[in-house]
Structure 1
Amino acid sequence: MSTRLVNLVIDAADPQRLAAFWAGLLGWRIALTDPGEVVVRAPAGDGWDLDICFVPVREPKTVQNRIHLDLASATARAQAERVAAARGLGARPVDIGQGDVPWEVLADPEGNEFCVLEPRPIYQNCGAVAAIVYAAADPGRLASFWAEAGGWRPARTSAPFPALRAPAGVGPWLEFVPAGEPAPVKNRLHLDVAPPQGGDHGHAAEWLIGLGARRADVGQGDAPWHVLTDPEGNEFCVLGPRDHPPR
């Protein structure tokens, strides 16, 4: 049994507005607009192979997110232009204790933190998004779990910042950075995984539980997917079998 990453899901009070912000900032397109979901999709040449899905929630954001995006910059000028564009679209600077760092920490219109990085050679073939970043009490353990659950390969194993990369070696990194204990609220960002065509998502969920996941109830009711948490309590969904979406 195996599963792979298929979506990044972001909770939103106003999915259409938040999707428009991220599509405008990244230069991507809104591929689907439904009452229960707005989907933003990268162009084929970007390297990002996931959909970003914005789903409606009633709960307001109350704590710093444990998952965030880092955006790549090819040059210092490009970094400044990306920051200016973000602010023009409704982002604002935030202080999360980062101190004097060469990257910019911003929050999108609903308060979700993200970073616009200074130029770094390691991210030059990543496209618009350099990394999906998890705050983790045990980065090594969480990286090992997601290497299995997401189907991505270890790209950096050294402590304290292990990281994964898609098998093709392009697109964003999946990084794990040291942090304290998980916040006692549902994450506003989460990943979806799915087995390949011919698989079974019920069997996939049981396989993931064997790797250290647990079943979770986030009010999903009788949904056609399974909601689990990873070994540090981060929610994720196991969807039905699927191929990669067309780009």
Structure 2
Amino acid sequence: MSADPPRHVLILGGTTEARRLAEALAGDPSYRVTTSLAGRVSAPVLPPGEVRIGGFGGVTGLAGWIVAHDVTHVVDATHPFAERMSFHASEAQAFTGVPLLALRRPGWSPGPGDDWHFTDSLAETSVRLPELGGRAFLTTGRMGLHAFAHLADTWFLVRSVDPPDAPVPPRLEVLLARGPFTLDSERELLARHRIDVLVTKDSGGSATAPKLTAAREAGIPVLVVRRPPVPEGVAEAQCPRAALEWLARTPG
């Protein structure tokens, strides 16, 4: 009797959690793993296993790829703010019946001494920002800078892996860097640029969290964009280990 073929796991990746899950699955002969990357970063850190780069062509393209490649499980381990891709994954699950898990690291929570102000969108953030400061450290990613392009009186320090595309704020300095970042370096950065307000998304994780501690120590307010919810009905896990447990108990 022939052995069962390995189960094919499609990881919608781009996060540390996605890479760690791929690393765990790559050493298990009962799984075949393919990680899909959006291709928005010029030199991504590639995980082990098979890798595909680029979009699927919407919901129908994703569903077609899942069926054509005999995918047995899909793990949506995209960035917590990759709302469109998560919606596409949920819709593809409805079309194909292939089990779907959303792998989302926990979000951040304010602690004693934090001065956090929550918003629901970048547009809302741009309205509230001038009330809190005039020299902003903007760490919401290069794709959303157009939301702040009209703020001519605010000076921005933007940190991203790749240079941003226009439109961007007129008073802008770009720092090209990839995390993780240390607390000492974040303290120095805030002081050197005389930052008086930090803007971030609730991405969670430890790689970029030191900026929050540095802001608290400096008494700087923080504008935090809330993350969108996981699509209704989709199973969730907060770490790669929990995702492995889901894969082990979920037939495909």
With structure 2 as the length reference, what TM-score do the two structures score?
A: 0.30
With structure 1 as the length reference, what TM-score do the two structures score?
A: 0.30
Query: Which has a greater percent of helix?
Result: 2
